[in-house]
């Protein structure tokens, strides 16, 4: 069983829709949770990070962490065609802060 599970999609939504992306994890040692966006043939770029449980908002993006359920989410409001990319969740354990454990990634397509 993988430490981090993520639905690979693809997920197709119309422009302007609210997108919900999710990951589950099995190890309660994970403390920092991140969402990366990866365009085709590019390296991942950090969108948001959160520490422990709670919500964090940045523009059209909201990240949620529920440690009791070992479940994290990324919401994208008013989705745009430029949001079409693969979204990767990632997390780090206490004491091994720099080693990122990634999910499989969810491919998102926002259509006009």
Partner 1 sequence: DAGVTQSPTHLIKTRGQQVTLRCSPKSGHDTVSWYQQALGQGPQFIFQYYEEEERQRGNFPDRFSGHQFPNYSSELNVNALLLGDSALYLCASSLEWDTTYNEQFFGPGTRLTVL
Examine residue 46 and tell whether it contacts partner 1 (CB under 8 A).
Answer: yes
Examine residue 4 and tell whether it contacts partner 1 (CB under 8 A).
Answer: yes
Which of 74, 90, 108, 110 is in the footprint of partner 1 by CB under 8 A?
A: 90
The DSSP-derived string for the chain is --SEEE----EEEETT--EEEEEEES-TTEEEEEEEEE-TTS--EEEEEEESSEEEEETTEEEEEETTTTEEEEEESS--GGG-EEEEEEEEETTEEEEEEE---EEEEEE-
Examine residue 61 and tell whether it contacts partner 1 (CB under 8 A).
Answer: no
Tokens at 73, concatenated: 């989410």
Q: Please choose, from the candidates 85, 53, 88, 56, the residue with its C-alpha nearest in 3D space to the C-alpha of residue 71.
A: 53
Piece in contact with partner 1 (CB under 8 A), picked from 13-21, 52-60, 74-82, 99-107: 99-107
- The least CB distance from residue 111 to partner 1, in Å, is 21
Examine residue 99 and tell whether it contacts partner 1 (CB under 8 A).
Answer: yes
Piece in contact with partner 1 (CB under 8 A), picked from 13-21, 45-53, 57-65, 71-79: 45-53
Task: Report the interface residues with partner 1, using CB under 8 A.
Answer: 4, 6, 8, 32, 36, 41-46, 49, 51, 88, 90, 92, 95-105
């Amino acid at each position: 069983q993988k430490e981090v599970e993520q639905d690979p999609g693809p997920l197709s939504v119309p422009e302007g829709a609210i997108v919900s992306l999710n990951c589950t994890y099995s190890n309660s040692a994970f403390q920092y949770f991140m969402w990366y966006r990866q365009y085709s043939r590019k390296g991942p770029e950090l969108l948001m990070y959160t520490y422990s449980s709670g919500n964090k908002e940045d523009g059209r993006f909201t990240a949620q962490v529920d440690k009791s359920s070992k479940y994290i989410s990324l919401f994208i409001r008013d989705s745009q065609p430029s949001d079409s990319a693969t979204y990767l969740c990632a997390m780090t354990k206490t004491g091994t802060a720099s080693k990122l454990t990634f999910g499989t990634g969810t491919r998102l397509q926002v259509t006009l």
